[in-house]
Amino acid sequence: MPMPYYVSPEQMMQDKAEYAKKGIAKGRSIIAMEYVDGVLLTADNPSASLHKVSEIYDNIAFAGAGKYSEFENLRKAGIRHADLKGFMYSREDVTGRSLANGYSQSLGTIFSQEIKPLEVEILVVQVGGNDHPNEIYRISFDGSIIDEKNVAVIGGKAEAVQGALKETGSQSPPTLESALNLCVSALERTTNLKLSSEGLEAAVLDRNRPGRKFRRLSIDDMRRLLAG
């Protein structure tokens, strides 16, 4: 009887990681940036209906880069988790931290146990109210979770975009208008393409809104903010 090939665990993990990274880098970038009233999420996304950024709960948003079918599943699972928790306990008991932990556990388990890892990188963003700081969690394909401050980038040429943002970034949080302009110029510089409002997807978690804080920016909104 033939013996199965031996592959060392290190080699196997490395192969999986390379495979996942390649898939994620093929896509386009998404930026989460804190601004004065909350957090802005900007994605380079030519589709008007297949969203990369969406609402999870009152003050929590989700962004996914990589394979659409895979992060869409994660998004739905997150909404179920949040709605169930909010129904069982109370709306204020739904936190970005517990959601990010759930995602991290799921992605980590899939990465180590399944043959094919998920080719996704996701952001869980929670806007803080009453002097609580905002929370931005970046979760990678292997379940590693990073607590980001001020700005986070996933997908595509994430490091290049991060670099471009660092050059122009300031210490105090920008207004919505300048935050959107910063994000768009960083995306344009790394892709060498002029991005029109139609090719962008943007949404905010605005702490001044009553109830559900998530709001998509319409094409008109974006045009106005980018022209100003």
Residues engaged in binding another protein (CB under 8 A): 49, 51, 54-56, 70, 73-74, 76-81, 83-84, 86-88, 102-103, 105-106, 109-110, 118
Pick 189 or 209: Cβ nearer another protein: 209
CA dihedral 195, 160, 100, 105 (to 10 degrees): 120
For residue 73, the minimal CB distance to another protein (Å) is: 5
For residue 88, the minimal CB distance to another protein (Å) is: 6
Taking the C-alpha atoms of residue 106 and residue 127, their distance in angstroms, rounded to an integer, is 24
* Residue with tokens 């208008």, as numbered in its chain: 177
DSSP single-letter state for residue 211: S
For residue 29, the minimal CB distance to another protein (Å) is: 22
For the record, the structure tokens of 49 come out as 């209906």
DSSP characters over 101-141: HHHHHHHHHHHHHSSSPP-EEEEEEE---TTPPPEEEEE-T
For residue 102, the minimal CB distance to another protein (Å) is: 5
Closest CA to 39 of 142, 147, 149, 144: 149
Pick 98 or 181: Cβ nearer another protein: 98
For residue 164, the minimal CB distance to another protein (Å) is: 31
Provide CB contacts within 8 A for 27, sequence distance 6+: 65, 66, 155, 156
What's the one-letter identity of residue 138?
R
Pick 80 or 224: Cβ nearer another protein: 80
Pick 113 or 170: Cβ nearer another protein: 113
Pick 38 or 78: Cβ nearer another protein: 78
